[in-house]
Amino acid sequence: MFNTVAVAGATGAVGRIILQLLEQRRFPAQKFRLLASARSAGQQIDFAGSRITVEELTHDCFHGVDLVIASTPDETAAEFLPSAVRAGCRVIDESGYWRMHPDVALVIPEINPQAALSATGIIASPNCSTTQMVVALKPLHDAARVRRVVVSTYQATSGAGLQGTADLLAGTRAALNSTTYDYKAFRYPIAFNAIPQIGSFKQDGYTSEELKMIFETRKILGDDSIQVCPTCIRIPVSNCHSETINVETERPLSVAEARQLFESFPDIKVLDDPNLGQYPMPSICDGSDDVFVGRIRRDLSHPNCITFWCVSDNL
């Protein structure tokens, strides 16, 4: 039982989901505090039968807090979370800022919970597109050692925050009505479009989102030899990221063995019946904690490769 839990970024897209889950799961804490930027401070949010006033996130707001769950922009996490650590808080951070810091544990509970047990200060949560992919890779890696991954992601607009979803809805209305809309979260219209850029361009023509998938995968699985070639695409879906994943393993895996490995792993659900047209889709995976896998098949071009489709609720 925690005495006091603070949610930083409580008014954002992920922050709202965090509050829903804390309430649904009756998270054991005597008191909850909700923190956000100065422009959101003063808002009142109904939570667990009470109405809580949102407080401003400051360097001095963490005294008396046992656990901080933070979902803020990277620059906010960089500035304020060290103050939480100095105040004696344990911190779970959803931002990208601390993930690759050598002294910070990057944790997916189904994969490397031991890293959280030994961590002090900040525990980082991986990028959403990395998380679902690595959960799917883990049973294959344990059984046959993953050598190389080629992944294309089809990412929902909610991954760009509340404004991303607002852009999708308003932009779609504008397109259907033949009017204009000034997009705020995206450089190009997202309605009836696909944008092959998420994040800023970095080394060798890869975006920041794609590089996260490379380096975070290696850190979580504890294997720097794994090669990852990602392409991240934004599509006009409101929630749930989809990925097509091609995996080369050290020894060949049959489709039947891969399916059995997926089915036996915690929090993976297999939806894979081609005869019935059964496979994961964002419309049926929304609101679930699970990682859904389907379209499992061997790669006809390589004897040691398995290909599959993967969908998960990114929020």
CATH number at residue 54: 3.40.50.720
How much is the pLDDT for 116? 87
147 belongs to a structural domain: yes
Give this prediction's pTM: 0.92
Tell which residue, 179, 202, 209, 201, has the closest CA to residue 191.
179
Instruction: Determine, yes or no, domain membership for 298.
Output: yes
Determine, yes or no, domain membership for 168: no
Which token pair is 157?
Answer: 């607009």
pLDDT at 189: 98
Q: What own/partner pairs with CB < 8 Å and gap ≥ 24 does 117-126 have? A: 121/85, 121/90, 121/91, 122/81, 122/85, 122/91, 122/92, 122/93, 122/98, 123/90, 123/91, 123/92, 123/93, 124/93, 124/95, 124/98, 124/99, 125/92, 125/93, 125/94, 126/99, 126/212, 126/216, 126/220
pLDDT the model gives residue 230: 98
Residue 107 · residue 132 · CB < 8 Å = no
Answer yes or no: is 165 within a domain.
Answer: no
**Are residues 86 and 44 both part of a single domain?**
yes
The predicted structure's pLDDT at residue 117: 83
- Find tokens 């397109």 and name the residue: 175
List all residues 6 or more positions away from 86 whose beta carbon is below 8 Å from its beta carbon.
none
Q: How many domains does the chain have?
A: 2
Identify whether residues 37 and 92 lie together within a single domain: yes
Q: What is the pLDDT along the chain (315 residues), one digit of tens a residue?
A: 799 999 999 999 889 999 999 999 999 999 999 999 999 999 999 998 899 999 999 999 999 999 999 999 999 999 999 999 999 999 999 999 999 999 899 999 999 999 988 777 899 999 999 999 999 999 999 999 999 999 999 999 999 999 999 999 999 999 999 999 999 999 999 999 999 999 999 999 999 999 999 999 999 999 999 999 999 999 999 999 999 999 999 999 999 999 999 999 999 999 999 999 999 999 999 999 999 999 999 999 999 999 999 999 998
Q: What is the pLDDT of residue 25?
A: 93
Q: Which of 241, 285, 305, 310 is catalytic?
A: 241
Return the structure tokens found at 202: 């970095």
Within-domain flag for 100: yes
Q: Do 139 and 102 fall within a single domain?
A: no
Pair (134, 100) in one structural domain? no
> From the candidates 89, 128, 232, 240, which is the catalytic residue?
128
Which domain range does residue 48 map to? Answer: 2-125
Shared domain check, 295 and 198: yes
| 50 and 105, same domain (yes or no) | yes
Identify whether residues 149 and 251 lie together within a single domain: yes
Identify the pLDDT of residue 271: 98
247 and 134 within one domain: yes
Is 184 within a domain? no
Residue 150: give its domain's CATH number: 3.30.360.10
Q: Any idea which residue has 């799917």 for tokens?
A: 136
Told to judge if 89 belongs to the known catalytic residues of this protein, a careful annotator would answer no
Whether residue 149 is found in the same domain as residue 280: yes
Last residue of a domain, one of 125, 144, 173: 125
How far apart are the C-alpha atoms of 46 and 256, rounded to whole Å? 48
Residues 6 and 97 in one domain: yes
Q: Is 128 a catalytic residue?
A: yes
Report pLDDT for 313. 97
**Predicted local distance difference test score (pLDDT) of residue 119:** 75
Give, in order, the Cα–Cα distances in Å from 256 to each of 260, 281, 315: 6, 22, 31
Are 295 and 150 in the same domain?
A: yes
Q: Which residues are CB-neighbours of 151 under 8 A, at least 6 positions away?
A: 133, 213, 228, 229, 230, 231, 243, 244, 245, 246
In this prediction, residue 170 carries a pLDDT of: 98
Q: Is 151 in contact with 246 (CB distance < 8 Å)?
A: yes
In a domain, 134, yes or no: yes
Residue 180 inside a domain? The answer is: no
Q: Quick one: how far is CA 194 from the chain centroid?
A: 20
Asked whether residue 138 falls in the same domain as residue 102, the answer is no
